[in-house]
Amino acid sequence: MWTMILTTVCIVMTMVMAVYVIWFYQSGLVEETEKESYDKYYIMITEDSKSSIWKSIYQGACERALEENAYVDWLGDTLFEEYSVEELMQIATASAVDGIIVTANENDELTGLINEAAAEGIPVVTLYGDNTKSARCSFVGVGSYNMGREYGKQALKIINERREEETAEGAIGLIVEKDGMVQAAVEEDGILGSKNRPVKVAVLVNAYAQDLDQNILCSGIQETIEQERSEDIEIELSLISVDDTNAFSVEESIRDIFMEQDVPDIMICLNELTTTCVYQAVVDYNKVGEVSILGYYDSDTIIHAIDRNVIYATVAIDTKQMGGFCIDALQEYHELGYTSQYFTADIRLICKDNVAEYLKRGENADEIP
């Protein structure tokens, strides 16, 4: 009996909390928009609210929503307490919003919550990570395989450039006689990628990822390296798990890698936080020039690191386009009753050759009041 009473109390408290949170948001919405009315009210839910990538996606969603006379709130961004994605999904569903945008995974609990929202007539768009078993109306993400191929190509480019530099410097000069002529030769055993010195390429993957995108991306990297590498280049490709529960756990995971005797020659990072932590570790452990970094996203820190030749290149996604696609999917669903199952955002490579363009964009953005 007491268990039933406690369960009932918890349910009532959850519902009260949900009503209060949405009332708080909606009352704030009225004040901020001076009682303007919108046709649709959408909610965006992410795993965290501190990463600049989510802020950029939200900005893109807001700009597109205003064009459609809709409003989108980033649920959890201004709350004093931290709530899980699942808890925020419950709040949004109980509030009967017009649509939900959520960063998803293949978690069974999240599958059930998305299905509950769909059963209530609320379309759900999964963002960045998908939940293929659910009744979500659309998924907005990136082409993971193509991104993996880009990482693979850049890794091979790094290897070829470093081999050329080492050959030019003259690794272990030899004197050989050929056709009666004495010539200088280079001993290949001391060059990166030779049998005695294989290239160590490490892909830093999320230890707790349950979606297929990460596996597809890694497959793209592996297949590209195998297909396009020269026969005389030896490459050891490995996956290193990184605990990205929070910033501290990522830093600990990266520190453990650099404490090992054999630090990878090339490190491929698959999110913004890992990229930033590896960049800092390379500087702290005096590995600049020894460890090449392929990063993810185009934050100011990453862009400046490329300009300083600490990060070799980064693969960035068009985050504003991704946010706009989320609104497009919800609007189409309301208008037509269906929408595209998959929206793919564009990706772009930022390296030393074009980093000046992005530095200039950042300076111009700072000047905007």
CATH class of residue range 144-317: alpha beta
Q: Strand 70-74 relative to strand 235-242: parallel, antiparallel, unpaired?
A: unpaired
- Domain 2-136+320-346 matches domain 144-317 at the CATH topology level: yes
Q: Which residue has the higher pLDDT, 191 or 42?
A: 42
pLDDT in tens, 197-236: 899 999 999 877 656 788 899 999 999 999 999 888 899 9
Give CB contacts under 8 A, 24+ apart, made by 104-107. 104/128, 104/129, 104/130, 104/131, 104/134, 104/136, 104/211, 105/129, 105/131, 105/209, 105/210, 105/211, 106/130, 106/131, 106/132, 106/133, 106/210, 106/211, 106/212, 107/131, 107/210
User: What does the pLDDT average to over 180-187?
Assistant: 48
Is residue 365 scored above 70 in pLDDT?
no
Is residue 97 scored above 70 in pLDDT?
yes
Give the C-alpha separation, 34 to 92, whole Å: 23
The reported pTM is 0.81
Give the C-alpha separation, 34 to 36, whole Å: 6
Q: What does the mean pLDDT of the chain come to?
A: 86
pLDDT in tens, 40-57: 999 999 987 778 899 999
Burial class (CB in 10 A: 0-12, 13-18, 19+), 32: exposed
DSSP assignment of 233-293 equals: --EEEEEEEE--SSHHHHHHHHHHHHHSSS--SEEEE-SHHHHHHHHHHHHHTT-BTTBEE
pLDDT in tens, 120-172: 999 999 999 899 999 999 999 999 999 999 999 999 999 999 988 887 776 54
| DSSP 3-state of 42 | strand
**Residue 142: count of CB within 10 angstroms of its CB:** 19
pLDDT in tens, 6-40: 777 777 676 666 656 565 555 554 444 444 689 99
> For position 193, what pLDDT does the model report?
76
> For position 369, what pLDDT does the model report?
33
Domain-wise residue ranges, the chain: 2-136+320-346, 144-317
CATH superfamily of the 2-136+320-346 domain? Response regulator (3.40.50.2300)
Q: Which residue has the higher pLDDT, 269 or 173?
A: 269
Question: CB under 8 Å to 91, separation ≥6 — which residues?
Answer: 17, 18, 21, 22, 75, 83
Q: Which of 232, 237, 266 is closest to 159 using CA atoms?
A: 266
User: What does the pLDDT average to over 239-244?
Assistant: 91
Is residue 174 scored above 50 in pLDDT?
no
> For position 351, what pLDDT does the model report?
96
Q: Which of 140, 141, 134 is closest to 117 using CA atoms?
A: 134
